[in-house]
Amino acid sequence: MPENPLPPANPADPANPANPVDPVDPVSAPDRSAVRVLLRLWPYVRPVRGRLFTAAFVAIVASCLSLVIPLVLKWLVDGPVADRDPGGVWLGALYLLLLGIAEAVLFGFRRWLVARPLAGVEARMRSDLYGRLQRLPIAFHDRWASGQLLSRGTTDLMLVRMFLAFPLTFLLVNGVTILAGYVLLLSQDWSLGLVLLTPVLPLVVVCSLFEGRYGRVARRAQDQVGDLTTVVEESVLGIRIVKGFGRHRSQARAFRELSERLHGTELLKARLLAMIWAVITVVPELAIGAALVLGTVQVADGDLSAGTLVAFLSTALALRWPVESIGFLLAMSQEAATATERYFEVMDAEEEPDTAAPEAPRSGGPDGVRFENVVFRYPDAPEDAPPVLDGLDLHIRPGETLALVGGTGSGKTTLTALVPRLHETTGGRILLDGEDIALMDRRRLRSLVSTAFEEPTLFSASVGENVLMGADGTAGEPELRRALAVAQADGFVDRLPEGAATRVGEQGLSLSGGQRQRLALARAVVGRPRFLVLDDPLSALDVHTEARVEAALREVLRGTTALVVAHRPSTVMLADRVALLSGGRIAAVGTHQELLRSSEEYAWLMSGEKERR
């Protein structure tokens, strides 16, 4: 793989066209083997190998039929034409017509053989990619730009399918055709055959050089397609920000710069392809011209029949297409190799670790949630950076609601992400009712723990489907209505055109921020989870709606063990106790009133002041 061509830039600036959105650091091109890379497709190709081999055999037969035509021409020239036999000429014309029809039918049959299975291969690869993306850890998605992932699942897989449908077959077909053609040439006249063999060595050298250079440029182009996809996606999803701040010109400029860079790379690919095409075309043509001159002399001297010369030149011309196509077949193969490489960069990424150990023995009864000496640092953090959480200890009693309070950047959201194992602890352990979550099956863990994030995310589905995602599949209309009532969302949902069956559109942007947050809260409580983690669930609500949601939420919290990230006193009042997170540790635990009296930092956080006096 070539090195990433994009120069370093500020990764926080999505409008910067030099932003390195592909986190992969490819190996250098000399260590890369296109054949080794493409062989990784074999597990996907194996189930359809029978049809592919049959298609290749049919294509070889069809291609070799074109080599029979010169033999018919030789018979025509030396026989019926020389003998002035019209009947023989018509018979020869009929033979040529039948050969042409047979060749066309066989090539059509080959296309029919490969169309359906290769569409299936592409579908399986896309399905596997999507499944792998679901299983990869959050840290992976934090590092990768979504446009790079989208381009791998669309453009790259299309290139792979095109390679399997055409270059893979015709590199073999054309190779066999060229070999069979040269055998015929040498059998017709060995001296003329040797003349046509002279371009072989220079063409091999040129193709080898072309393959390496084109592979590097193809990788650069495909990475740039991913960058461009990222900018388009961010601009569409953030269209309100772009329009609200009048940033359409700067976004258009960023897009234009990336487009121009991709345009330049594509032109470089075109120049390379034009060069190799010119060389592959001119060199054999020179050899054919030399053979024509030499053959004409031999016919004039009586050493060669006119029919043999016609057959020889017809065979040589029939080999023009197999030889000239080598250039773009190699180009398509290199693009497919880089596409395969990019695909397996994602497929080779390490999935979320899961335990193979037996379940830990359960305690005698409910014990709530325990954080024991929990340490966490982000995988990409500098080695000398302090951990986000450093030896944190905390106990949430069974059936208790604990509010978590801390300054901006104190690690509250990170702590809530550790409970459902969206991130893995660096050290220490977290226990749910005495069970170490690191030893629990993820599916079981996430059936016990429900989460509502600070930024509510909705999918392009109906309101009901979005809410019921929080259940295990057994919830129905009663549970949906109860959850909507708890979140005080039933009123506005009933006013939607189709009620809970109304589709909310991409990201739920057709709804207000408060409406999206209430649906996210309904999703968190619909499954009646044993453990509930809420990250500032009421931040987008007005004071009247907040009061109604709090009243309903109190009833829900009585039946569960809950951790609630809070920034406002009204949210804190939902909790039985409050924990203050500071410096990566729990600095104080108590009731709201106790901490107001004993902790200056807590009192300041709850006061709403902008800065510490």
Q: What is the pLDDT of residues 285-335, one digit of tens each?
A: 888 888 888 888 888 877 777 777 777 787 887 888 888 788 778 888 888
pLDDT at position 354 is: 60
Q: How far apart are CA 302 and CA 358, in angstroms?
A: 90
Band (12; pLDDT cuts 50, 70, 90): very low
pLDDT at position 353 is: 65
Give alpha helix (H) positions in 77-166: 82-83, 86-135, 138-143, 146-151, 157-165
Region 545-560: mean pLDDT is 77
pLDDT at position 610 is: 40
pTM for the model stands at 0.73
Residue 588 confidence (pLDDT) above 70: yes
Asked whether the domain spanning 369-607 has the same topology as the one spanning 31-347, the reply is no
pLDDT at position 23 is: 46
**Pick from 220, 233, 298: nearest CA to 266:** 220
Residues 6+ apart with CB under 8 A from 326: 171, 174, 203, 207, 280
Mean pLDDT (the chain, rounded): 80
Residue 358 confidence (pLDDT) above 50: no
The angle formed by the CA atoms of residues 472, 476 and 481, to the nearest 5 degrees, is 115
DSSP string, 214-259: HHHHHHHHHHHHHHHHHHHHHHHHTHHHHHHTT-HHHHHHHHHHHH
By the 8 A CB rule, do 483 and 525 touch?
A: yes
Q: What are 370's strand-pairing partners?
A: 395, 431
**Pick from 348, 350, 328, 342: nearest CA to 273:** 328
* Architecture of the domain spanning 31-347: Up-down Bundle (1.20)
> pLDDT tens digits, residue range 263-278?
888 888 888 888 887 8
Region 366-384: mean pLDDT is 85
Residues 6+ apart with CB under 8 A from 265: 217, 220, 221, 224
Residue 550 confidence (pLDDT) above 80: no
pLDDT at position 22 is: 45
Burial (Cβ within 10 Å: 0-12, 13-18, ≥19) of residue 240: exposed
**Pick from 481, 415, 477, 422: nearest CA to 446:** 422
Band (221; pLDDT cuts 50, 70, 90): confident
Residue 604 has a CB neighbour count (10 Å cut-off) of 14
Residue 4 confidence (pLDDT) above 60: no
Q: Which of 8-12, 24-28, 507-511, 517-521 has the lowest mean pLDDT?
A: 8-12
Structure-block tokens of residue 186: 């040498």
Residue 21 confidence (pLDDT) above 60: no
Residue 608 confidence (pLDDT) above 70: no
More confident residue, 49 or 240: 49
Region 568-581: mean pLDDT is 87
**If you search the block for the tokens 């189709």, which residue do you land on?**
498
Output DSSP code: residue 368: -
By the 8 A CB rule, do 522 and 533 touch?
A: no
> pLDDT tens digits, residue range 471-517?
876 677 888 888 888 888 888 888 888 888 888 876 666 787 778 88
> pLDDT tens digits, residue range 390-436?
889 999 999 898 999 988 888 888 898 899 888 888 899 999 988 99
Phi, psi of 206, rounded to the nearest 5 degrees = -65, -45
By the 8 A CB rule, do 420 and 449 touch?
A: yes
Phi, psi of 375, rounded to the nearest 5 degrees = -120, 140
Band (3; pLDDT cuts 50, 70, 90): very low
Structure-block tokens of residue 440: 């629990």
Q: What are 457's strand-pairing partners?
A: none
pLDDT at position 10 is: 35
Band (44; pLDDT cuts 50, 70, 90): very high
**Pick from 412, 419, 451, 452: nearest CA to 438:** 419
More confident residue, 365 or 530: 530
Region 103-113: mean pLDDT is 85
Residue 224 confidence (pLDDT) above 80: yes
The full set of domain ranges for the chain reads: 31-347, 369-607
Percent of all residues in the chain with a pLDDT value above 90, rounded to a whole number: 9
> pLDDT tens digits, residue range 336-356?
888 999 999 999 988 876 654
pLDDT at position 395 is: 93
Give the largest Cα separation in the chain, rounded.
120
Q: How far apart are CA 550 and CA 544, in angstroms?
A: 10
**Pick from 442, 266, 446, 251: nearest CA to 355:** 442
Residue 464 confidence (pLDDT) above 90: no
Class level of CATH domain 369-607 = alpha beta
> pLDDT tens digits, residue range 81-103?
666 767 777 887 787 788 888 88
Region 366-388: mean pLDDT is 86
Percent of all residues in the chain with a pLDDT value above 70, rounded to a whole number: 88
Q: How far apart are CA 575 and CA 404, in angstroms?
A: 9
